[in-house]
Homo-oligomer: A and B are copies of this chain.
Amino acid sequence: MASMTQPDSLPGGELTARNLLQQTHGRVTPARVGVLGILLNANAALSHQEIEQTALRQGLSADRVTLYRALDWLVEQGLAHKIAGADRTWRYNAQAGIPHQHAHFHCKQCEQVFCLENLQPTLLFGLPDGYQIDEVELNLQGSCPDCRNRNAS
C-alpha cells in the first residue's frame, strides 16, 4: 500500500485485480494479482504461454506451474474462465460481465480467441430426440475486425 496517489489508473488493471482478489477468501499474491491483471487487460482469451510471456515483459517472474495454479484458482473463484481451443490448449479470460453462455470467435489469421457477448442463445431446430442438453458451446472461426482491416489495405 505504498503511495496511492492515483486512485484507479494503473497499467494492466492492477488495482482492479487487487480489489477483486480481496473479495475472495484466498491470499493476494503477486502471481495472482499479475495474472488477473493481465487477463483483465487483454481483449482476447490468452493461452498459458501468452500469459507467461506477458508476465515476463511486465517484470513479473513466476514459475510455469505457479501460473497454471493461479489460473486454475481464478477459474475456481469464478474470476476467470477457461476455454478449450481447437489446438488443444487452454485459454483464459476474465472479462467482467460476460454471461456463462457465450460464443468464442477464433481468428484464423492472428490466432486470437475473442469472447463474443451479446450473442444470444442460438435457436436450434432438428434436434434429435432423447438428448438432454445442459450446456451449449458455440465456436466461430473466421477473421476478426482487426485482421479484416489489415487486409483491406
Which of the residues B84, B120, B134 comes within 8 Å of A84, measured between beta carbons?
B84
For A114, give the chain B residue with the smallest CB separation.
B131
Copies, count? 2
**Chain B positions within 8 Å of A138 at CB level:** 122, 136-139
**Chain B positions within 8 Å of A87 at CB level:** 84
Q: Are A128 and B148 in contact (CB under 8 A)?
A: no
Q: Are B120 and A125 in contact (CB under 8 A)?
A: yes
Q: Are A122 and B119 in contact (CB under 8 A)?
A: no
**Chain B positions within 8 Å of A139 at CB level:** 136-139
Q: Are B131 and A140 in contact (CB under 8 A)?
A: yes
Which of the residues B88, B119, B126, B133 comes within 8 Å of A126, measured between beta carbons?
B119
**Chain B positions within 8 Å of A144 at CB level:** 130-131
Q: Are A119 and B127 in contact (CB under 8 A)?
A: yes
**Chain B positions within 8 Å of A137 at CB level:** 86, 138-141
Q: Are A132 and B127 in contact (CB under 8 A)?
A: no
**Chain B positions within 8 Å of A143 at CB level:** 131-132, 134
**Chain B positions within 8 Å of A149 at CB level:** 130
With A84-B88, A86-B84 already in contact, the answer to whether A140 and B130 are too (CB < 8 A) is no
Q: Is A116's beta carbon under 8 Å from chain B?
A: yes
Which of the residues B85, B116, B122, B142 comes within 8 Å of A122, measured between beta carbons?
B122
A positions within 8 Å CB-CB of B: 84-89, 105, 108, 116, 118-120, 122-145, 148-149
